[in-house]
Amino acid sequence: MKTVDTNRNDRVAPMLMAVALLFGASAFAKVAAFCAERGRMQGLGGVAKADRDPDGLKGCLEQARKTADAIKGKNLFIKEPPKENPVKQVDGILGDEAFVAGQWYKAGAKIGDATIVEVRPTYVTVEWEGKTTNLAPIGAATSEPSGPPVARGEPKKEAPAEAKKNEGKPAETPKVETAAAVEQDDPLGWLGVTLSPRLRAVLMEKWNSASPEEKARAQEEWNKMSDDEKARVVDQMEQHM
């Protein structure tokens, strides 16, 4: 019996040792695997965090910048002033050109967002935002009513003695000859006003390039104005030169 027990003990001891080694190896493997997995997860988390933060920050900054630009562009806190027609007045007309703000313009020219539609002898048609407006030079709007036929008929009311005295006097003939003589010496002498050298040069350039019909029409419209109206028109043109 002792021999059997001895043999059994000899076999049990190695078996227990083997089992202990297996458990130890298994525990060591589990601990090593846990440590490796934890390190891998921490590495992935750090990479993800490093990749996520810059993009997220850039996106937020970009969105904030776009919002600020949109607010500035819309002027949410500033009331925009109403638009005004850039052509407020016409200072003069010569032939087919209008004198506006110190410059000469023909039909079809643009002044800001306004368009010169037509240049007439007594007014200029301007289109702005779909609306048309007729603008006359200063004094031209009242030039036609200021010379009614009554003024021309006043000589008929003269006394008979005065009428007889003036019967044989060709009053108009000397004026025509004088005007022709003045025009030969000075093409702008028919204006009857004093011009600065600069304004004279500009008007001479326009006058020389005008057709005979345009010259006749300009003279006709100019002669309809009173002396005060002519002086005002010349002053306006001088100021805008």
Q: What is the pLDDT of residues 53-77, one digit of tens each?
A: 566 667 777 777 777 676 665 555 5
Distance (Å, whole) CA 183 – CA 189: 6
98 has pLDDT over 60: yes
Q: What is the DSSP string of 179-234?
A: HHHHHHH-TTGGG-S---HHHHHHHHHHHHHS-HHHHHHHHHHHHTS-HHHHHHHH
Token pair, residue 177, equals 């000859």
Residue 78 pLDDT grade (very low, low, confident, very high; cuts 50, 70, 90)? low
User: Structural domain boundaries of the chain?
Assistant: 1-80, 92-239
Task: Grade residue 241 by pLDDT with cuts at 50, 70 and 90.
Answer: low
Instruction: Give the residue among 151, 122, 101 at the shortest CA–CA distance from 222.
Output: 122
Average pLDDT of span 74-93: 74
Query: Of 120 and 72, which is predicted with more confidence?
Result: 120
Whether 233 contacts 225, CB under 8 Å: yes
Nearest Cα neighbor of 237 from 222, 224, 223 is 222
Query: In this predicted structure, what is the pLDDT of residue 112?
Result: 85
pLDDT over threshold 50, residue 131: yes
Does this model's pTM top 0.85? My answer is no
Quick check: 146 pLDDT over 60?
no
- For 32, the 3-state DSSP assignment is helix
Supply angle C-alpha 185, 191, 193, rounded to 5.
100
pLDDT, tens digit (0-9, with 9 covering 90-100), for 176-185:
344 444 445 6
* Cα distance between residue 99 and residue 105, in whole Å: 6
Cα 143 to Cα 227: distance, rounded to the nearest angstrom: 11
